[in-house]
Structure 1
């Protein structure tokens, strides 16, 4: 086995462990030592493969962003291909919502990482929002606006806030589910809870499109 292969394998193991720990504990509460211990490596070896903690965190967030961008880009292509009618566009946008929700359920570490940042974890690394989150939200909002305008829908809608609303709610639901009247947490894998949430999110999106200002 080549040294280069060993290096690549070690880096992947480190990134996987770092992703899990940053998602579970946040940036501030996760040490390089803890990441190294999770994969059986010392701090010096971790630093050799991925750099210091800020570089490791950037690498983790970059991988999360690329996975998110890939899913969103595919969903936007499907949205752009929808029929340019009010009905077709509503269905296309709800399909986009479902695609993003499915991504959050399939990759729970991604919403967890971003929610940690919403709590000001790793706040000194503000370039992560500048490089990743900001441009992607702008791109999605512009694409959604173009599709809505094409169909004559949502003239008064704040599309950027609509995109954020989808992100906030999908991330939160994917992590926490809902609390039922008995105080029990119903997670996103509980099908009746998932269906209820999905219908509600659809109603929110449709309501924004049909609102008359």
Structure 2
């Protein structure tokens, strides 16, 4: 490591390179040597800063989770504020924000999609550690905001219905962003809004395109 490369910068550079490769090729399809080459560093420097490939993968997923958690928590706060007055608009806005996040940071949905294809199977705890708490937070917010008795949704939303809607947004959005055609984003955004509103049994009271 050169004097002009502070330890924190080297670590961030390595994690950034690993993120790109894990998203593109998966954990199982990436070697530490490839990560070192992508980062422009030697193997000894990589091992010194991040340890082995398993340690590096956990750090990549931790950072991906922190970025996603920040966006979801911000979007949930806006949803909780607006849902009582306009549940349809609040749901559409939440879906929009999550789609924007995935488009801005496409490596994050790519990392999770790799896991869904049985990549990095030895890290079985990551779903419970990272994905599950966010899914449950969104599910619970939806149930609390949609108790029924409104024109938009006469019946109360069950936890099962809400959770399935969350998974629908995840799978659909991640799949689109993995192979996104930018010209199709407006069309997909409208589709996503309509899809999640339909799953939640919400009747759109205005044009949500």
TM-score, normalised relative to structure 2: 0.88
**Residue number in structure 2 paired with 1:155:** 156
**Residue number in structure 1 paired with 2:178:** 175
Deviation at residue 134 of structure 1 after TM alignment: 1.0
**Residue number in structure 2 paired with 1:126:** 124
**CA distance 1:4–1:163, change in 2 (3 Å):** farther
Contact 1:84-1:150 within 8 A present in 2 as well: no
Provide the rounded CA distance (Å) in 2 between the counterparts of 1:81 and 1:211.
18
Q: 1:23-60 deviations in whole A, cap 9, x for unaligned?
A: 11000010111101112222222111011111100000
CA RMSD of aligned residues (A): 2.1
Contact 2:148-2:156 within 8 A present in 1 as well: no
**Residue number in structure 2 paired with 1:210:** 201
Provide the rounded CA distance (Å) in 2 between the counterparts of 1:67 and 1:128.
15
Partner SS for 2:82: coil
Provide the rounded CA distance (Å) in 2 between the counterparts of 1:12 and 1:151.
50
Provide the rounded CA distance (Å) in 1 between the counterparts of 2:149 and 2:119.
40
Deviation at residue 150 of structure 1 after TM alignment: 7.2
Partner SS for 1:81: helix
Listed as ranges, the gaps of 5+ residues in structure 1 are: 178-186
Listed as ranges, the gaps of 5+ residues in structure 2 are: 204-209
Q: 1:84-113 deviations in whole A, cap 9, x for unaligned?
A: 14xx01110110000000000000110111
Provide the rounded CA distance (Å) in 2 between the counterparts of 1:138 and 1:5.
41
Instruction: Find out whether 1:117 has 2:118 as its counterpart.
Output: no
Provide the rounded CA distance (Å) in 1 between the counterparts of 2:41 and 2:201.
56
**After TM superposition, what 4+ stretches of structure 1 lie above 6 angstroms from structure 2?**
2-5
Provide the rounded CA distance (Å) in 1 between the counterparts of 2:80 and 2:168.
20
Partner SS for 1:84: coil
TM-score, normalised relative to structure 1: 0.86
**Residue number in structure 1 paired with 2:207:** none
